[in-house]
Amino acid sequence: MESQFRNGLGDRSREKKVGRWVFGIAAFYCVSMFLVPFLMPEGSVPELSGRANTFDYYNEDSWGNQEHREGSKIGHNQSAHGGTFAWSELNPYYAFVYAFGDLNCHQKFERSWAINGNQMPVCARDVGIFFGLALGGWWFSRKGLNRWTIRDTFLTLFPDDRITPLYTNDRRLMAMFTIGILFCLPVVLDGGIQAISNYESVNPLRVMTGIPFGFIIGWYFSASLSSRPDRFGLDAGLVQLPAGAVLRTHDNTESE
């Protein structure tokens, strides 16, 4: 097939599909986190305060519904914050949205928004992260190209003429890590300073710092799923790179 794209391939259907899947899944949950509390009866979800990476509000006997000490870093006296909450008693769609939030987010009410008198399933920072994740997948579906390795596939979101120095000086891996650090830095600084000092962020800032963090996750995840050597017949010499660089394989490693 005649080459149509700057990676040397005439088809980028996988890159489109991967990016669209990342976008679709993230966008579905992003919309759902607003839609579900809006559709639920007013006041169905009280003020929550749980732990990340565990289920705290599965049923009325779960950890989050217990009478914890007020002012603790995690948890509170649930009876003093609107009563118990059990997502297992909701319909399957609502239960999934709140269960996913329960598992992945601390759900601190003071760091979350409420819609229709119902606390959202995730905090404000996670709202930004999922929006950024969807944006990263969408952008990759439009611009991303398979270039055999993750680092080279990752960098295809930039025009080749902008990244030529990275190839002439072989700084591709360093560039990928540097970009990752820069995109993660806002959430690390905002959340890290908050964790070790008396500084308390605000929800709009939490959203804004979450967006680049989510974007880099979607970008990297899409690139890692799209970098497929088999699309080049496992012949690294067929990969077109900026500055006339060529991939060569020696003992299962790639180098210019």
* Mean predicted confidence (pLDDT) in 196-200: 87
The fraction of the chain above a pLDDT of 70, given in percent, is: 96
pLDDT band at residue 255 using 50, 70 and 90 as cut-offs:
very low
Residue 234 lies in a domain: yes
pLDDT for the residue 247: 86
The total number of structural domains that make up the chain: 1
pLDDT for the residue 206: 96
pLDDT for the residue 3: 57
Domain of residue 158: give its range.
13-241
Residue 52 lies in a domain: yes
Whether the per-residue pLDDT at 251 is higher than 80: the answer is: no
Mean pLDDT lowest for which of 22-26, 67-71, 141-145? 67-71
Residue 248 lies in a domain: no
Residue 27 lies in a domain: yes
* Mean predicted confidence (pLDDT) in 221-250: 90
pLDDT for the residue 165: 95
Residue 253 lies in a domain: no
Residue 20 lies in a domain: yes
pLDDT band at residue 234 using 50, 70 and 90 as cut-offs:
confident
Residue 249 lies in a domain: no
pLDDT for the residue 63: 97
Residue 203 lies in a domain: yes
pLDDT for the residue 248: 74
Residues 72-110: tens digit of each pLDDT: 888 999 999 999 999 999 999 999 999 999 999 999 999
- Token output for 122: 């995730």
